[in-house]
Amino acid sequence: MATNSKVFVSPGVYTSEVDLSFVSQSVGVTTLGIVGETLKGPAFEPIFIRNFDEFSTFFGESSPEKFVNTQIPKYEAAYIAKSYLQQSNQLFVTRVLGLSGYDAGPSWSIVTKANVDPSTIDRVCITTATTNCDIICVDYQDTDFLIPFTGCTTSTDSISFDLTQFPPSLLSKLNLPFQQFNGDVSTINNYMESQVFNVILTPSTSGSSIYYYGATPGTFYSANTANGYSSRTDVFEVSNMNSDLINYSDTSNDAWYYAMFDNIGGGQYTGSSFYNYITGLTETSSSSNCATLYNFGIYGHVTSGKTVTGFEGNNYSNGTNIPTTTLTGQGSGLTLDILTDGNGITGVTINKAGSGYDLGDTVIVSQPGSDDDAVVVISGISSTSGCINYNTKNIKVTLPNNVIFTGNTLLTPYFSSCTSNVKVGNVTQVSKLSATTFSANCTTYTVTSDDNSEVTNWNVCVDYEDVCNPSTTCNVGVPDEGKITKCYSGTVVGKQVEYVGESYKDFDDLVVATFRSRGLATYGSDDGAVYEVSGLTHVKLDMSGVYSGVTKNPFSTFVIKATGRTGTNYSFETSLSNSDSRYISKIFGASNFSKDRVSVPLFVEERYQTLLNYGWRKGYVRGLSTELVALPDARQSSDPSSIGFYLEKYQTPETPWLVSELRGNKVYNLFKFITISDGTAANTEVKVSIANISF
């Protein structure tokens, strides 16, 4: 160490060393205090912290959560503490609770409708009597009905009921879909149409066919059987169609309950069953859709004739191919060769046979120079059959060469058809009566079915036989017979039986999902956020039409409609089936910022999927209510118990009171546990167990 002693260096030169060094004073330990929000911990009380592990134990870890529309951490105190405790081990932390309350805004909740409790189902009693001190029912509510109908053998679509004759409660369910026990979906109307259609197809079954829609009292069931209605159809496949023998709790009755029972609120159900059969079946019309020609030919070729006695004519001479004039009948084209005795005609032979003649028709034979015309009566005729191709609807008639003379194109066809509506052009044709012109050898016959549903065109051609090239084929294919349609009228006769029951009340009107509106805080002078949807009536459910199934199955698809604050209308198809791509949390998101607030203004605040799954699996839940439970925001309601009230301060978690056993008629509070830490996060910090209690 240096001293102040002088040291000789050279004559007259001395050195001395002065020690100016010193030991630095130690730096004092700095203590910091932080006041701010943390995830948990005791509030408004300074807590001494030595390291960040202690901080985490008391106040929770750091959190990335930021204030809305900013990059400012909401729980900034944790970051400051962590940085400081890397340099020091003395820190006081005081937690404050000022920024955690908020106005959650209005809410809209989806609630359940409970199923009917089968053990409570009974018929509706309208008159009672007392027997041996017991009150018994002597008259039950039931309704007879007579429903006129019409229908044809074409299809069930032709069946029509007089809807004014249905009991009102039955009419309201007529076209509502229901699911059968095997999973198929149908309606009451479908079954009633099917029953009528099967009966008109086989009218002999009208006296035995009966359809049961649920369980019917034994007296009615037995009477129907005694009256011959033993061909029973159990529409809902209930455990027994006789209500005296049915087990109402059997799960096979579910289709009946879902189709015919209604939850009317207040834990009450109304329902019914009915049966029906057919009476008074009467055929009202019969028509066909057949439009075919069965055969076709040229009719009435004359093969022989003779003069009428007393009308042989005068001054006739022998002649050939002499034309005739029809006196009686429809024929034409006949020419004759005549023999005479120099005065009257003594014999005739056929030159050109003509067509359209009938036996007994008469013709006049005129010859220049004769005094009186001769009259010839037709004594023999023949016809020429045509060849029909039923596939192409072409007909060819090959006439003998002696039928008509050159240039005569007026022929009289004969034909048969399944309909009387046969025309050439607009002129109706009658077999053996209507003469037709075949000026170009061919003409078209139009055949229309009786019911006007089918129209066919037949190309008919007439030619003369070629002895060097005779025809070798004739009919091809088979005629289309079509189908005969019969129409009937009659009456559906039946009886409706009324029932009542109670719901599984613990599962009625349970909230299974709650929606909130997305919104943004303005941080202005107002008292809450601006919500995209604010009106309680601005959110609605659509469970009608194709979406009505959700009232019978809570996992079916439905629609949520909303009207935004700017008047924009929204519509979202969704479901409560968590395996569905349209599951509510996938469509709406589960937090305020999980979806764009402009395109999806609502989010799912809570959903109780496990509760819904359990209630449905056990048969306690029937479906969803068609009405939302809408509750106002905190600005419209001062009730702290409201679901919309989130403005309360942080509270210290505490357990319920542990109470004494019943002493006399009183129970006394003994003790409860209260955490030091405040706020929601503290709820998961402590587990309280009590054991070894001595009684």
- Residue 24 clears pLDDT 90, i.e. is over it: no
Average pLDDT over residues 452-478: 83
Residue with tokens 């109706």: 428
According to the model, what pLDDT value does residue 1 have?
43
According to the model, what pLDDT value does residue 2 have?
46
Among 370, 371, 361, which Cα is nearest to 325's? 361
Q: Which of 268-272, 527-531, 544-548 is the most confident on average?
A: 268-272
Quote the strand ranges of 65-201, DSSP E.
Answer: 91-95, 107-114, 122-123, 125-131, 134-140, 142-152, 160-161, 178-179, 185-186
Average pLDDT over residues 471-483: 82
- Burial (0-12, 13-18, 19+ Cβ within 10 Å), 239: middle
**In this structure, what are the phi and psi dihedrals at residue 171, rounded to the nearest 5 degrees?**
-60, -35
According to the model, what pLDDT value does residue 500 have?
96
Average pLDDT over residues 566-575: 95
Distance separating alpha carbons of residues 218 and 241, to the nearest angstrom: 9
Q: Among 64-78, 146-160, 418-432, which is the least confidently predicted range?
A: 64-78
- Residue 662 clears pLDDT 50, i.e. is over it: yes
- Residue 525 clears pLDDT 80, i.e. is over it: no
At residue 663 the predicted structure's pLDDT band, cuts being 50, 70 and 90, is confident
- Residue 275 clears pLDDT 90, i.e. is over it: yes
The tens digit of pLDDT for each residue in 147-175 reads 999 999 989 999 999 999 999 999 999 99
Q: Among 62-66, 162-166, 418-422, which is the least confidently predicted range?
A: 62-66
At residue 604 the predicted structure's pLDDT band, cuts being 50, 70 and 90, is very high
199 three-state secondary structure:
helix
Among 530, 525, 513, which Cα is nearest to 105's? 530
pLDDT exceeding 70 applies to what percent of the chain? 89
- Residue 277 clears pLDDT 90, i.e. is over it: yes
At residue 448 the predicted structure's pLDDT band, cuts being 50, 70 and 90, is very high
Average pLDDT over residues 602-622: 94
Average pLDDT over residues 293-317: 88
| 559 in Cβ contact with 550 (< 8 Å) | no
Q: In the structure encoding, which two tokens stand for residue 431, read together?
A: 């077999």
**In this structure, what are the phi and psi dihedrals at residue 432, rounded to the nearest 5 degrees?**
70, 0
- Residue 642 clears pLDDT 70, i.e. is over it: no
Q: Per DSSP, what are the bridge partners of residue 445? A: 458
Average pLDDT over residues 329-340: 89
Q: Among 130-139, 164-173, 428-437, 446-455, which is the least confidently predicted range?
A: 130-139
According to the model, what pLDDT value does residue 421 have?
94
Distance separating alpha carbons of residues 431 and 447, to the nearest angstrom: 13
- Maximum Cα–Cα distance for the chain, whole Å? 208
At residue 110 the predicted structure's pLDDT band, cuts being 50, 70 and 90, is very high
The tens digit of pLDDT for each residue in 401-415 reads 887 755 556 789 999
User: 530-531 and 442-448: which strand pairing?
Assistant: unpaired
At residue 200 the predicted structure's pLDDT band, cuts being 50, 70 and 90, is very high
Which is it for the CA torsion 171, 174, 177, 179, positive or negative?
positive
Other residues' Cβ atoms within 10 Å of the Cβ of residue 507: 22
| pTM for this prediction | 0.61
Q: In the structure encoding, which two tokens stand for residue 367, read together?
A: 């010859």
Average pLDDT over residues 445-472: 85
Average pLDDT over residues 107-115: 94
Helix H or strand E encompassing 492? strand 484-502
Among 290, 285, 283, 284, which Cα is nearest to 452's? 290
Among 530, 514, 518, 692, which Cα is nearest to 606's? 514
| Identity of residue 226 | A
| 135 in Cβ contact with 129 (< 8 Å) | yes
According to the model, what pLDDT value does residue 287 have?
86
Other residues' Cβ atoms within 10 Å of the Cβ of residue 148: 14
**In this structure, what are the phi and psi dihedrals at residue 12, rounded to the nearest 5 degrees?**
80, 0
Distance separating alpha carbons of residues 269 and 428, to the nearest angstrom: 66
Which is it for the CA torsion 146, 150, 156, 157, positive or negative?
negative
According to the model, what pLDDT value does residue 647 have?
58
According to the model, what pLDDT value does residue 153 have?
92
**In this structure, what are the phi and psi dihedrals at residue 613, rounded to the nearest 5 degrees?**
-60, -45
Quote the strand ranges of 187-251, DSSP E.
Answer: 209-213, 231-234
**Average pLDDT of the chain?**
87
According to the model, what pLDDT value does residue 50 have?
93
- Residue 3 clears pLDDT 60, i.e. is over it: no
pLDDT exceeding 90 applies to what percent of the chain? 55
According to the model, what pLDDT value does residue 102 have?
59
Distance separating alpha carbons of residues 210 and 322, to the nearest angstrom: 77
What burial letters (b/e) apply to 541-577, b meaning 16+ CB within 10 Å? bbbeeebbbbbbbbbbbbbbebbbeeeeebebebbbb
